[in-house]
Every structure is written in structure tokens, then in C-alpha cells.
Amino acid sequence: MRELKYAILGLLNQKSMSGYELSAEFESALNEFWSANHSQIYPELKKLTQEGMITYEVAISGHVLQKKIYTITDAGREDFLKWLSRDQPMSSTPKDVFRLRVFFSGELTPEHRRKMFESHLTQHRSRLNYLRQQMQKFNGTPGSASPEMGDYLVLTGAIMREEMTCEWLQKCIELAGG
């Protein structure tokens, strides 16, 4: 499906940047729904260059250190837009180790089970807090045609997901908490 390809093309469509900066984008902007290590990004950039989807210019940081600034080509933009426009059916439910553990949690003692739920609840509450802080970067709701809209919608989605997860974990504690 080449999803990494389109994540990279989408980012380069917003702004030309280096592999290192792309890597940072994956850890910030895309963090709530995608991830990629630099060891995956660099080979993909090489491949995309060979395929004519992107080009690069070498820039110098300081005196010697070279970095490659990648720019999307017309062919790349076309391919990206084609991918974005395709309607894809809902993808199958992602793997979730915690839910797998919960499914089998009848094998644990009630106290142990409770601790497991509480530990996760604490972690998700903290994540929710962080995401709510992130929301402050928007001055109210962006306009429907604003370039910030995509970003706003996925942050909203991430917050709703964490809220739901916290509610679920509370229910788990009530029902099976021991």
C-alpha cells in the first residue's frame, strides 16, 4: 500500500524539508496516527527520488555538515492527490496488546487486574492532559477551509479517543476491579 510513501509526500507537499526534519514531523504532527523511524525514512526518500516523486538540493549547516532538502515534484503531487482522493474502505481493527491482555485477564487475581487497569488509566489521563494542552495552539475553531483544519480534526479525534479510553478503563475497574 506504500503508506509511508504518501505520509512523506503529504508532508513534503506542505513544505520542503530534510529527512531529519521529516523524522521530527512524524514524532510531532503525525504522532497520534503514524510513526516511522529514520531507518525507514531515509531508504524511502532514496526510493522516492529514484521514482521521480521528489528531488533534493544539498544545503550546508555550519561549515561542512551536509543536509538534503527534499521537494515534491509535479509527478509526486499528482500521485499523492490521487491516493488522497481514492475512497478506501474502513481498515480492519488494529492490533491492541492491552485489549488482548484484558481478554485473558480472568487468569489474574482481582487485585492484579485492578492494578493493571489503574496503571493504564493513569497513563491515558496524562496523555489526555497533554493533548488538551496541545489544543491551545489553535485560536478557537479553524475555519472550514483553513489549512489548519486537518490538524485540528485529528487532534480532536485523539482527545476523544483518550477520553473514551479513560471511561472504558474506569468501567473495567468498576466491573472487574476486585
Partner DNA sequence: ATTTGCATGTAATCTGTTACATGATTCA
Partner DNA sequence: TGAATCATGTAACAGATTACATGCAAAT
Task: Count Cβ atoms within 10 A of the Cβ of residue 111 and give its class: 0-12 exposed, 13-18 middle, 19 or more buried.
Answer: exposed
Helix 74-85 and helix 3-14: axis angle, to 10°? 120
Instruction: Rule CB under 8 A: say whether 91 interacts with a copy of itself.
Output: yes
Instruction: Rule CB under 7 A: say whether 40 interacts with DNA.
Output: yes
Rg (CA), the chain: 21
Instruction: Rule CB under 7 A: say whether 68 interacts with DNA.
Output: yes
Instruction: Rule CB under 8 A: say whether 90 interacts with a copy of itself.
Output: yes
Distance in Å, CB of 58 to a copy of itself, minimum: 28
- Which of the choices a copy of itself, DNA, none does residue 61 contact, using the CB cut-off of 5 to 8 A by kind? DNA
For residue 6, give the nearest of 83, 65, 89, 71 by alpha carbon: 83
- Which of the choices a copy of itself, DNA, none does residue 2 contact, using the CB cut-off of 5 to 8 A by kind? DNA
What contacts 24+ positions apart, CB below 8 Å, involve 45-48?
45/8, 45/19, 45/70, 48/5, 48/8, 48/9, 48/76
Binding residue for a copy of itself, selected from 2, 82, 99, 132, defined by CB under 8 A: 99
Instruction: Rule CB under 8 A: say whether 60 interacts with a copy of itself.
Output: no
Interface ranges with DNA (CB under 7 A): 1-4, 18-21, 23-24, 35-40, 42-43, 45-46, 61-68, 95
